[in-house]
Amino acid sequence: MKRSNTLHPHIADENRRKFLEMNNVSPEKSVLVQLSYNSDDFCRYDVVDALATGEGITRDGRVADGLATQTKNLALFLPLADCIGAVLYDSDYQALMLSHLGRHNLEQNGGQKSVEFMRQAFGTNPARLEVYFSPSAGAENYPLFDFDNKSLAEVAINQLCAGGVRRENIKLSPVDTTTNENYFSHSEYKKGHRKTDGRFAIMAMMQD
């Protein structure tokens, strides 16, 4: 599902459509968390509603490192390859956030800033948040040198907890993208250990 820097973006578009429709979601009811590394700020967050449907999927979208919504049946969609897609859910205020937590974001305290964004935007009590982490790169093959060689997940957990999230409310995927070849790994591709560079994806949505 990697669309950027590819000779055949229509293939990525079709794969994204298939993924969404397999989960009973249309691209027209989805919003892309559209990343950009052409910045010094990797903690850019925004609230979206029904007016944003199709952004980044069927029409141009906004650049963001995380999107949040209180709109039901609006899918937040994020392609990944090694980084964490963190789903934050506030059942009290019926609010949902999908935040990209990679090395760049975590170096700017993106975990804690994601929690703070939900608190400011919706009145979220961090202790009530439920969080899920997508598959991501483990410490063995992708240590974060600025964080004592911890993994992405370890650092993200520490930052979320510093923001007030309860550790028992954070659920982790057991999948390490650098060792499980059912998932793309950009870091392993750059090392020459994978023949293909691509993206898998995570989607989050609140339903009626």
pLDDT at 86 over 90: yes
**Domain 9-204 belongs to what topology?**
CNF1/YfiH-like putative cysteine hydrolases (3.60.140)
pLDDT value at position 11? 78
For the segment 39-76, what is each residue's pLDDT rounded down to a tens digit?
A: 999 999 999 999 999 999 988 999 999 999 999 999 99
Q: Return the pLDDT at 12.
A: 81
With b meaning 16 or more CB within 10 Å and e meaning fewer, what string describes 57-70? bbeebeebbbbbbb
Give the pLDDT of residue 6.
Answer: 58
pLDDT at 4: 66
> Which pLDDT belongs to residue 2?
74
Read off the pTM: 0.95
Predicted local confidence at residue 13, as pLDDT: 85
Where is 32: in which H helix or E strand?
A: strand 30-32
Q: What share of the chain is helix, strand, coil (3-state, %, to 5)?
A: 30, 25, 45
Q: Would you state the pLDDT for residue 8?
A: 66
Residue 180: is its pLDDT beyond 90? Answer: yes
Taking residues 177-192, report their average pLDDT: 96
Cα atoms in the Cβ-side hemisphere of radius 13 Å centred on 159: 24
Asked whether residue 1 carries a pLDDT value surpassing 80, the answer given is no
